[in-house]
């Protein structure tokens, strides 16, 4: 069986084939490059990025979305990114476990990916693995990550549509929202909207979004009670396909990140550090001459 | 005059030579690579990073530090980084203007650098230009940047000592401090400490710093009145030289950033985008095959 045959066998109807392909790509096993180059995207399934601070209810929201989409006969894949940057405290395992109600569904494929958070760049693995899921023919691909450090910016570079999940209390940090999230969000989902201050926050967000002349949707949900989920689904189902220009921009960011990852693949920081540790105390050590040899 | 001669002429006693060298490096003019490779560091002048949110009083603090250091006969260079990331709103020009009281001093060299904020990596230009200043023989090099996005993480990778400037009101965002700034700060400067809540915030910070078993100094200042500046100077003057291990780690990060910048120098995003825009609608476009050609 040659590679091309193997590849054509990656299908949402055979989870094992998907899991295998993801493992090949994640670990850069032999055949990974060919696998990627032979991916075919017959369906234009959207990649939907979901981000937000810890505790906003991202996983519960994804859970509720999955529930309604599978009821409609859709096939859904979830790539759950665990950023393991030094700025991320605590495990996200709790979140993951909440998603397990769908683990045995034949229509829902869930995979976790720990990235060391290639700060500020798109992680090549995230790009590659979400493309494998697209090629497998799922109807929707959710990429979920907790919004710490730069991960929410990363997700916006990857996703066709980015949902930023907040809670009413997030209003206290409106400054952060102003200066960052507003740039990346296609929609704000105000979850746990039965809590105090939800309407006030929603109105403020709508005003801010308006100021920037962007059409950012603001939707209230109580994901744990399936409230407002319909409206989110209407948003992600919007029939008007993605504009060529936006697709080109996304692909440019992806291409740049992939090129960088490939060019830097043989530069190992530990190795660099070993070499530098030996040289650092020498009087004539010059960083620029050192770098030239790499 | 060959390059080596030109280079030996970069000196804090001749501001024109410093400005010229910085311009060569900033714009990668002919001779830049040789210039960098021939830098000699006879003095171990510390690079002091100063970061913090807009309005914390960074420039006023730098101003006060410069004032006291020049009174002691020291020569000081300031590299003021303007991150022009999409997440940075408004001009920082106001800040800069406040520093101009020293513009005519023969002991103070000030240069601004607009970086497009190589998000999450050290900007190669910042590394190179601060090294030019070190080689010029200044006693202290301040690298100042507003703490938006990732710039405060960048500065920590560059500086021998990182001061994070906050105001008492920053206590409200203690969560952010916990999960990020604590990792990069060698000292917290609580400026405008004559305001309400300063002591409460200082005590909280000291407790948090203690939890992490790190020796992070917490210093109260009112920079506009020169209060507390002495203590900051004692900190940056500490005679105990930097440990070899920390220097090696800093140099490793710098080397990595420089290698990456050099390897990616010929990858132009605009060019990438032009190519992709032409291909994106073709049925058989494959990102991974495209990337292989670069």
Per-domain residue ranges of chain A: 42-263, 269-294
pLDDT at A293 over 80: yes
On average, the pLDDT of chain A sits at: 81
Alpha carbons B222 and B192: distance in angstroms, whole number: 5
Q: Which of A89, A260, A272 sits opposite B264 (nearest CB)?
A: A260
Q: Which of B118, B173, B277 sits opposite A248 (nearest CB)?
A: B277
Task: Please indicate if any CB of chain A lies within 8 Å of the CB of B37.
Answer: yes
Q: Does domain A42-263 have CATH number 3.40.50.300?
A: yes
Long-range contacts of A68-73 (CB under 8 A, 24+ apart): A68/A226, A68/A229, A68/A230, A68/A233, A69/A139, A69/A140, A69/A233, A70/A102, A70/A105, A70/A107, A70/A108, A73/A107
Task: Please indicate if any CB of chain B lies within 8 Å of the CB of A87.
Answer: yes
> Cβ neighbours of residue B264 under 8 Å, at least 6 residues apart?
A259, A260, A263
Min distance A37 CA to chain B CA atoms (Å): 5
Alpha carbons A64 and A73: distance in angstroms, whole number: 15
Half-sphere exposure of A96 (CA within 13 A, CB side): 13
State the pTM of this model.
0.72
Min distance B271 CA to chain A CA atoms (Å): 9
> Is the CB of A260 less than 8 angstroms away from the CB of B260?
yes
Residue of A nearest to B35 (CA): A288
Cross-strand partners of A220? A190
What pLDDT, on the 0 to 100 scale, is given for residue B182? 74
* Chain A residues with CB-CB distance to B173 below 8 A: 173
> Is the CB of B244 less than 8 angstroms away from the CB of A178?
no
The CATH class that applies to domain B3-242 reads alpha beta
Query: How many CB atoms within 10 Å of residue B208?
Result: 18
Once rounded to an integer, what is the mean pLDDT over residues A141-159? 73
* Chain A residues with CB-CB distance to B269 below 8 A: 252, 256
Residue of A nearest to B152 (CA): A149
Alpha-carbon distance values, B216 to B181, B186, B223, B270 (Å): 11, 5, 20, 43
Alpha carbons A133 and A131: distance in angstroms, whole number: 5
Task: Please indicate if any CB of chain A lies within 8 Å of the CB of B4.
Answer: no
Higher pLDDT, residue A208 or A3: A208
> Which residues of chain A from 155 to 174 reach within 8 Å of chain B, CB to CB?
172-173
Min distance A177 CA to chain B CA atoms (Å): 10
The helix (run of H) or strand (run of E) holding residue B112 is: strand B108-115
Residue of B nearest to A54 (CA): B175
Interval A43-99: pLDDT, tens: 888 999 998 877 788 889 999 999 999 999 999 999 988 765 333 333 343 344 445
Residue of A nearest to B179 (CA): A87
Task: Please indicate if any CB of chain B lies within 8 Å of the CB of A37.
Answer: yes
Alpha carbons A286 and B33: distance in angstroms, whole number: 12
pLDDT at A31 over 90: yes
Q: Which of A247, A252, A294 sits opposite B272 (nearest CB)?
A: A252
Interval A100-133: pLDDT, tens: 556 567 899 988 887 654 444 568 888 999 999 9
Alpha carbons A20 and B222: distance in angstroms, whole number: 61
What pLDDT, on the 0 to 100 scale, is given for residue A224? 92
Min distance A134 CA to chain B CA atoms (Å): 13
* Chain B residues with CB-CB distance to A258 below 8 A: 287-288, 291
pLDDT at A3 over 60: no
Q: How far apart are the first and last CA of chain B?
A: 39
Confidence of residue A172 (pLDDT cuts 50, 70, 90): low
ipTM surpasses cut 0.85: no
> Which residues of chain B from 274 to 293 reach within 8 Å of chain A, CB to CB?
276-277, 280-281, 286-292
Cross-strand partners of A219? A189
> Which residues of chain A from 42 to 81 reach within 8 Å of chain B, CB to CB?
none
* Chain B residues with CB-CB distance to A287 below 8 A: 131, 251, 254-255, 258
Interval B237-285: pLDDT, tens: 864 456 778 788 889 989 998 999 899 989 988 899 999 999 988 888 9
pLDDT at A210 over 90: no
Interface-testing mutation among A43, A276, A278, A294, with chain B (most B C-beta atoms within 10 A): A276
Interval B66-91: pLDDT, tens: 999 999 999 999 998 876 533 333 33
Task: Please indicate if any CB of chain A lies within 8 Å of the CB of B249.
Answer: yes
Min distance A279 CA to chain B CA atoms (Å): 9
Interface-testing mutation among B25, B53, B87, with chain A (most A C-beta atoms within 10 A): B87
> Which residues of chain B from 184 to 243 reach within 8 Å of chain A, CB to CB?
none
> Is the CB of A290 less than 8 angstroms away from the CB of B247?
no
- Coil, strand or helix at B75: coil
- Coil, strand or helix at B138: coil
Higher pLDDT, residue A4 or A262: A262
Alpha carbons A173 and A164: distance in angstroms, whole number: 14
Task: Please indicate if any CB of chain A lies within 8 Å of the CB of B116.
Answer: no
What pLDDT, on the 0 to 100 scale, is given for residue A88? 32
Alpha-carbon distance values, B80 to A159, A216, B96 (Å): 35, 35, 8
Min distance A128 CA to chain B CA atoms (Å): 9
List chain B residues with pLDDT less than 50: 1-7, 85-98, 117-120, 149, 239-240
pLDDT at A8 over 70: no
- Do A78 and A105 meet the contact criterion of CB atoms below 8 Å apart? no
* Chain A residues with CB-CB distance to B262 below 8 A: 291
* Chain A residues with CB-CB distance to B87 below 8 A: 153, 179-180, 183
Tokens 């929609």 identify what position?
A187
Min distance A287 CA to chain B CA atoms (Å): 7
Of the candidates A26, A206, A37, which has an alpha carbon nearest to the alpha carbon of residue A112? A26
> Is the CB of A150 less than 8 angstroms away from the CB of B245?
no
Percent of chain B with pLDDT over 90: 43
Min distance B119 CA to chain A CA atoms (Å): 5
> Is the CB of B256 less than 8 angstroms away from the CB of A272?
yes
């Amino acid at each position: 069986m040659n590679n091309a045959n193997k590849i054509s066998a990656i299908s949402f109807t055979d989870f094992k084939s998907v899991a295998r392909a993801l493992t090949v790509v994640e670990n850069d096993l032999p055949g990974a490059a060919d696998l990627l180059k032979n991916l075919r995207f017959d369906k234009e399934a959207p990649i939907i990025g979901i981000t937000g601070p810890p505790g906003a209810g991202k996983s519960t929201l994804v859970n509720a979305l999955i529930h309604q989409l599978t009821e409609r006969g859709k096939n859904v894949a979830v790539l759950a990114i665990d950023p393991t940057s030094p700025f991320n405290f605590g495990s996200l395992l709790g979140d993951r476990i909440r998603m397990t109600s769908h683990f045995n569904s034949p229509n829902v494929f869930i995979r976790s990916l720990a990235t060391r958070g290639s700060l500020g760049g798109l992680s090549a693995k995230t790009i590659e693995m979400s493309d494998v899921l697209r090629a497998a023919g799922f109807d929707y691909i959710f990429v979920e990550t907790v919004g710490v450090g730069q991960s929410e910016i990363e997700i916006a570079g990857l996703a066709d549509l980015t949902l930023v999940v907040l809670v009413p209390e997030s209003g206290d940090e409106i400054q952060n929202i102003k200066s960052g999230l507003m740039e990346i969000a296609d929609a704000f989902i105000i979850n746990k909207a039965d809590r105090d201050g939800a309407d006030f926050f929603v109105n403020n967000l709508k005003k801010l979004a308006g100021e920037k002349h962007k059409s950012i949707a603001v939707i209230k949900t109580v994901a744990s009670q399936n409230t407002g989920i319909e409206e989110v689904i209407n948003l992600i189902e919007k029939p008007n396909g993605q504009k060529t220009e936006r697709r080109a921009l996304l692909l440019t960011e992806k291409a740049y990140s992939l090129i960088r990852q490939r060019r830097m693949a043989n530069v190992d920081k530990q190795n660099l550090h070993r070499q530098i540790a030996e040289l650092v105390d020498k009087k004539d050590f010059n960083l620029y001459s050192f770098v030239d040899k790499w």
